[in-house]
A = this chain, B = another copy of it.
């Protein structure tokens, strides 16, 4: 019998904490009855919320934290001054082995900085990256980095490609995922120096991934590759541009259905199908980004999400642990040594 998984929750992170964290945990508990929770945060606020849900209360503990990392805090400031914050104590719980994974909807930069300091990066990884799934024409695609690293050098991008490939194999069950580098053209001479050098190195790789080459922005949603690699600035802009475009399209659709009596009538017949479409494109469904490259599993929920979205982030965390993600990524990182990637020396353990 395997020990039950304990999940450390930053109960104070996000716009609607701690309410959505407690309610999200309850939805997750229904999905995974054997999971246990530790809520880190203001005990006087969490306790009454938990008391409403006896089934959740039974599998939960509260660890009081009197500090909260604000959404406006600089990462360095949060690391320095937030040692007794709910976020920090939740990460500490993974470091000490008390919890198997941490989930937070708090300040992304602070979470990344604290997780890096406490959990440390894996051998061969200079900087962790934020990865998440995107819906595409062909299923789902992993994209990274989504905002942890504003500027990335060639080593970072090559490491992201490897981490993304392991993530795709573990979470999507793909044997040899295809990896593309996001650029503004597919020709070899296009784009930044860093990208061109990273592409040259990935073309030579003997690692278990297929390097597709450069892809462009429209290839993300087309599902041209299983893993999209880019720097954190571009990835964050692309992620949010896609979200904004989806919202715009939904609004245009809503207006179209209201534009005539006939259209309203048509909606009555088609609404079942549209409800399915709405579920399929629901951003909460894709909530739960993984902080890749750390010696511990850390999942970031969108700050503005609701209970269902937070529960989905918890589900991502459970899946990753159940599939032994971090063990797999550790194994793979050893391959970097003899990967045949030119100039890989700097990345060796």
Contact = CB atoms under 8 A, between A and B. Distances in A.
Nearest to A239: B217
A253 B256 contact: no
A239 to B, nearest CB: 7
Contacts of A192: 150-151, 233
Interface in A228-286: 230, 232-234, 236-253, 255-257, 259-260, 262-263, 265-274, 276-277, 280-281
20 contacts: A72-B187, A150-B191, A150-B192, A217-B241, A217-B242, A218-B247, A222-B248, A238-B238, A241-B245, A255-B277, A257-B273, A259-B273, A259-B276, A262-B269, A263-B269, A263-B272, A265-B270, A266-B267, A267-B270, A269-B269
Nearest to A188: B72
Interface string A161-197: 0000000000000000000001010010101100000
Contacts of A270: 256-257, 262-263, 265-267, 270
Chain A interface mostly helix, strand, loop or mixed? helix
Contacts of A233: 184, 191-192, 234
A135 B242 CA distance: 14
A255 B270 CA distance: 12
A63 interface: no
A219 interface: yes
A320 interface: no
Interface string A189-219: 1011000000000000000000000001111
Interface in A8-34: none
A137 interface: yes
A232 B280 contact: no
Given A187-B72, A220-B241, A273 B251 contact: no
A238 B236 contact: no
A216 B238 contact: no
